[in-house]
Structure 1
Amino acid sequence: MASLGGCTHPIRLDGHRTEHHLDRDTGEIGRVLHHLDSAELPAGHLLVRCNNRRTTRCPACVETYRRDTFQLITAGLRGGKGTPEEVATHPRVFATFTAPSLGPVHNRPSCPSPRSPSTRNAAPSTSTPSSGSTARKAATPRRQPGPPPSC
């Protein structure tokens, strides 16, 4: 449980894993080095951290992610952890790029459509009963396909 580091929503893994010795010269699989079966664990499952980056979901995993990100950014700016020290002399630019606009984001017609709220809430038209015993609604005209109406 200590390996979870305070994770509040650990992922439960079920199954088994077997590690064998591999002879690199011949490619033969040899003796069993380690065998893990989740049923033999105290919880009956192998519990691993959720690694969620949302604070509302798991504050412990968020903190680990925050610290890891800080170390990566710092190494990229100053060097260290496998990054050469001379990167500290390089110019630092934090550039953000936005794709060119292809027009309006939302389709907002300039004139009311046949399905606008004022038309939808209108009272349905009915006709008088025909020769049959049931009343029928008058057929509502359907909009014909074609170019949109001009306003």
Structure 2
Amino acid sequence: MKEKPALDAVDFASLFQLIMARGNDAVILFDKQGHVRYANPLAGKRLGYTNEALTQLQIFDLEEELNMVRYLQRWESAGTKKSKSWLVEWRLESGETQLFRIQGALFKNASPPLLCCFIPTAGSIQSLKTPTYQHLRHYQIGIWEWNIINGDFQM
């Protein structure tokens, strides 16, 4: 059996960008400080930003209610499982906000480590004005308050 040649770092980076550019999901990579390190074209389109503008942001610009403590909790939880799902309210370039169900996975072997967030196809995006969202929002706030009372700050 012939041994397959290994991909060097340059080939892998090119392959990664090609796959991310052609996939069906929007993809954003965040570093541990919350900076956007990469966004595929579909992510920019889905959020209304140019890719250049999107890569100048932090996750806190997209998700205004998120703070560093909660972001690091999200980072750690993504590192303990193969994939983690979150319901997030992200601000679009237009100033409007939309609800997304994102899938996150931590790439620990990347340098630096990166949180990879996949935003599924447009059909999974829900308006914040829907009754479903309003009930979810009240549920999340209620759980958050309950956890504070019990000393557990996870949402």
TM-score w.r.t. length of structure 2 = 0.23
- Relative to total residues, which structure has the larger strand share, 1 or 2? 2
Structure number with greater Rg is 1
Q: Which has the higher contact order (CA 8 A, sep 6+)?
A: 2
TM-score w.r.t. length of structure 1 = 0.24
- Relative to total residues, which structure has the larger helix share, 1 or 2? 2
